[in-house]
Amino acid sequence: MLDYRESATHVFGHEKLIVYKKGLQFVISIFALNEGISRKVIACGHLSRAADSIPINIAHASNTTSPGERISYLGHANGSALECAACLDVLAAKSILPVENASSSKHLLADIVSMLISMQKHNSTRISEAHAEYRTKNGNLFSHEDLLVYQTGLQLVAWLETLMKATVASRTDLLASLDKTTTSIVLNIAEGNGRFSGLDHARFLDIAYKATVRSASLLDLLETYCQYDLSAGYTFLRRIAAMLVSLSRHQKISSKPPP
């Protein structure tokens, strides 16, 4: 009888891919990182789920014969990788995770993203991986980090963290909901920027916009319960909303087929 355990390492082609192995390496590193975080926030759960999504979608991409499906799965993996990077930025912005720890994990993600982008560009009947060094025009690891809307989103997250530490509120549920919605803004901007379809990108921007609207309404509710100055939060949200509408409109127009 064949011992599956002895032959399992050679059962599927995706198990030989460097990018798949790096995806698994990232999952292991994130598990250890999460274990060391004393205060769990919404970004921690997102980080674990998005990390798992990377190797799963790489496996699907490697084992499909349809070029369209392959690109779609690669887009899912790439989007999840950028979501993970955004989760690390959120944790760093909240001072829950040291910046140097976030940076180390993001460099591993940068390797994964560069391989996924290369796979998408050289899509063929068989998946092949190449490693292309990737840096943005501003020298960042990921293109979404260049976006003003993303930077403003992180400023909003950091502002809310300061508010949560300073506020002794009877409505801690509102603060928890704000943590969820403001984190959603940042993560959806990042993940959308990693999708290979313009319409898919626009869909994530629209989700981020809805989270922005919900954050504004939650801030209105919080204002009725506390005496703290929330004007900075409103300013961040107005800027984010305006930029998201503009970016989504651009993506949708760019994705229209020529007449």
Encoded tokens for 71: 């690109």
Identify the structural domains of the chain with CATH numbers, from first to last. Answer: 1-143 (1.20.1440.60), 147-259 (1.20.1440.60)
Instruction: Return phi, psi of residue 91, to 5°.
Output: -65, -35
Q: Cα–chain-centroid distance for residue 203?
A: 14
pLDDT string in tens for the chain (259-residue length): 334 344 455 578 888 899 999 999 999 999 988 888 878 899 999 999 999 999 999 999 988 888 889 888 999 999 999 999 999 999 999 999 888 888 889 999 999 999 998 888 776 434 445 554 556 677 788 999 999 999 999 999 999 999 887 765 567 888 899 999 999 999 999 999 888 788 889 999 999 999 999 999 999 999 888 778 899 999 999 999 999 999 999 999 888 776 6
Q: Are the CB atoms for 183 and 135 separated by under 8 Å?
A: no
Q: From the DSSP assignment, how many helices (H) and strands (E) are in the chain?
A: 9, 0
Instruction: Tell which residue, 31, 33, 9, has the closest CA to residue 21.
Output: 9
pLDDT digits (tens, 9 = 90+) for 16-47: 899 999 999 999 999 988 888 878 899 999 99
What is the reported pLDDT for 246? 96
Q: Token pair of 196, please?
A: 């290979």
Half-sphere exposure of 253 (CA within 13 A, CB side): 6
Q: Global pTM?
A: 0.86
Q: What is the pLDDT of residue 127?
A: 47
Sign of CA dihedral 26, 102, 57, 122: negative
Question: What's the confidence (pLDDT) of residue 100?
Answer: 87
Sign of the alpha-carbon dihedral angle for 74, 76, 30, 164: positive
Can you read off the two tokens belonging to residue 235?
């300013």
pLDDT at position 65 is 84
Closest C-alpha among 147, 148, 117, 144 to residue 132:
117
How far is C-alpha 228 from the geometric centre of its chain's CA atoms?
31
Q: By the 8 A CB rule, do 81 and 55 touch?
A: no
